[in-house]
Amino acid sequence: MSDDQSFMNYSPDEFESDAEFEYEDDDEVVEVASASQSDDGVVDDDYDDDEGDGEFEEGDYENDNAGDASDFKQEDTLSTKKDLVEYKAHSTKDLVAKLSAQTKNISSVLELTDDNALTLLQFYSWNSERLMEEYMDDPDRVKTAAGVIVDGSTKAGSTFKKYNKGEFMCFICCDEKTQTYQLSCGDEYCLDCYSKYIKDKTSSGKVIKCPNCDVALNSQDLDFIAGEGESFKLIESSIKEYVERHRSYKWCPSVDCPNVVEILNFADIPNIVSENHVPVVTCNHNHQFCVSCSFENHTPVPCGIAKQWVTKCKDDSETANWIMSNTQQCPKCDSSIEKNGGCNHMTCKKCRYEFCWICSQDWTSHGTSYYQCTAFRDNPNDKAKNKEKEELTAKQKLRNLTKNSLKKYLHYYNLYAVHESSTKLDDKRCKFVEEKVRELQETSGISWIEAQFLVESAEALLKARKVLKWSYAFAYYCDRTGLLDIFEEVQAKLAESVENLSKLFEIEDPLEIVRNKLEFLNKSHFLQERQKAMISCTLESIDYGCLSGKD
């Protein structure tokens, strides 16, 4: 079967004719459909809905199912691939609750006060198993190491003291102070110094100890010295520690997003990635990101390629490439010179050296043959010159090569960058429009449910644009074959519908927006279908080995 035919599955016409598609005549297409179906056997097991056994034979397709039904079945499967990652989204509050539950658990098992249990857990970086184990072994040693006062010791608790002027000099600030705080270890410092010391340490999420010895400050000490809520701040930063310690927890990488995602099948992530699926999760604030890369959702591009692309874009090497392919160094002072027109008689602006662009030699040797390099014709039999010429052509070839690859890169990068900035604009625009509609809701009594179409369309738009954006990175790493032509056609159609929907969001008048509700719904539904087509087309391309990953 030829590759091109198999791709007819995703030809843009399919969606134009709204899935009125006839498979019956075309055996080969069906074969592909069933082939890719069995590739995703894992998915089928879990997410099968109506097909039952998940085993398809060609015959089944032709006889029982209408072409379009099987087609959509396949796309449903593809779209549920992101569900391969089983996860739970947590907010910071959830985690605080989780940590206090863990503290309560420890305090009851080890018969400690909550305060002491908290200190011990913080000291053990929330590794309760290790804490339990070592505590059972030698409770006193664990307590002393963490700075928890051992029961039955003669030392008194913490005290707040007041002095008259001149009676107490704080060791830290070397100043006479009237208010001090003393821990059970007997070390005493002024309140100001203590408070500064604590505020500096709170962000670490670790146990805060007396500046002079190992005694830990408990939450009462913290709240008394640095003000109500300080101990809570410490617990909050403990979360950071907790998440970093547990590899199955991931911070949402979006800017300022405080949410965490817990991955339930963490061990499967490498498998998911190696099968070129993107393990995408959604945090409580509706940010989608890839668990493996801790980066935005880069569907349909596999993780490895996405990483390659991002580093490439960040890397200055492209600048270097540009300099290499477009400039030459002045033979005398080595400054980079770009020739942007004119003849080959160059004069370096820096050192005023005159040379020939072609042979990089002193211009005076060119004598009277103005504006033409005859350096090679002078002595055609001269071996040294010939060698030089060979070297030069090799250099030229390399330059051309870099020039071409740079051109290719810039082409795709520009497309990628345009959609990246458009995503931001879309986001702004969508929020603006939503705000408008909210106003309208209040003034003209449109129900909340009626206005939801706008939120959904905005989401669809942002998602589709992201897929589109990444498809350009994908295309950069693809070999140029017939498949890529089809890929690009699908891509163009996706781009078109993205722009169409984006345009709808430019309507300012809220009443007009509501009037266009059907349009919004149609366009976003259409866009979602196109997006699915794009994703499945990408996956097919990978299956057929088009993705070379080479620059």
Partner 1 sequence: MTTSILTSTLQTIKTNWQTMSVRQRLLKEYRTLEHNNLDGINPILTENLHLLYADIKIFDNELYQDTYRVKIMIPEQYPYVSPVVIFMKSTEDNINTIPIHPHIYSNGHICLDLLGPAWTPIQTINSLLISLQSILASNSRNERPSDDEKYVAKAPKNPSKTRFVYHDETI
List interacting residues with partner 1 (CB under 8 A): 171-175, 189, 192-193, 196-197, 200, 204, 211-212
Question: What is the per-residue DSSP string for 133-144?
Answer: HHHHH-HHHHHH
Alpha-carbon gap, residue 59 to 39, rounded angstroms = 18
HEC string of 206-226 equals: CCCECCCCCCECCHHHHHHHH
Give the C-alpha separation, 274 to 294, whole Å.
16
The end-to-end CA distance of the chain, in Å, is 29
C-alpha–C-alpha distance, residues 119 and 103, integer Å: 9
Instruction: Using the minimum distance from each CB to partner 1, give the nearer residue, 187 or 551.
Output: 187
Residue 198 beta carbon to partner 1: minimum distance, rounded to whole angstroms: 10
Phi and psi at residue 21, to the nearest 5°: -130, 140
- Give the tokens for residue 372: 């033409």
Ramachandran quadrant class, 160 (left: phi over 0; alpha: psi -120 to 50; beta: rest)? beta
Considering the complex, what minimum distance in angstroms separates the CB of residue 179 from partner 1? 15
Which among 243, 185, 192 has a CA at the least distance from the CA of 217?
185
Give yes or no for a contact between 199 and 226, defined as CB atoms under 8 angstroms apart: yes
177 vs 523, beta carbon nearer partner 1: 177
Q: How far apart are CA 460 and CA 526, in angstroms?
A: 10
Nearer to partner 1, 170 or 454 (CB): 170
Q: 240 vs 517, which CB is nearer to partner 1?
A: 240
Residue 235: CB atoms within 10 Å: 19
Question: Please, are residues 27 and 58 in contact by the beta-carbon 8 Å criterion?
Answer: yes
343, 348, 356, 546: the active-site residue: 343
Number of other CB atoms surrounding residue 68 within 10 Å = 16
**Residue 167 or residue 485: which is nearer to partner 1 going by CB?**
167
Q: What's the CA angle centered on 289, arms 284 and 290, to 5 degrees?
A: 135
DSSP per-residue string spanning 299-324: TTS-HHHHHHHHHHHH-THHHHHHHH
The answer to whether 217 and 202 are in contact (CB under 8 A) is no
Smallest distance, Å, CB 196 to partner 1?
5
Is 343 among the catalytic positions? Answer: yes
CB of 148 to partner 1, least distance (A): 19
Distance from C-alpha of 89 to C-alpha of 492, rounded to nearest angstrom: 35
- Residue 193 or 278: the one with the smaller Cβ distance to partner 1 is 193
Residue 111 one-letter amino acid: E
Q: How far is the CB of 237 from partner 1 (least distance, A)?
A: 14
Q: How many residues does the chain have?
A: 551
CB of residue 195 to partner 1, shortest distance in Å: 10
User: In the complex, what is the shortest distance from the CB of residue 250 to partner 1, in angstroms, rounded to a whole number?
Assistant: 21
Closest distance to partner 1 from the beta carbon of 172 (Å): 4
Quote the least distance from Cβ 170 to partner 1, whole Å: 9
**Does residue 300 have a cis peptide bond before it, meaning omega lies within 30 degrees of 0?**
yes
> Based on CB atoms, which residue is closest to partner 1, 237 or 326?
237
Scanning the structure block, which residue is given the tokens 């498998």? 271
Residue closer to partner 1 (CB basis): 210 or 290: 210
Is residue 90 within 8 A of residue 259, CB to CB? The reply is yes
* Best CA proximity match to 215, nearest among 151, 153, 147, 135: 147
Output 79 or 204, the one with its CB closest to partner 1.
204
User: Where in the sequence numbering do the catalytic residues fall?
Assistant: 343
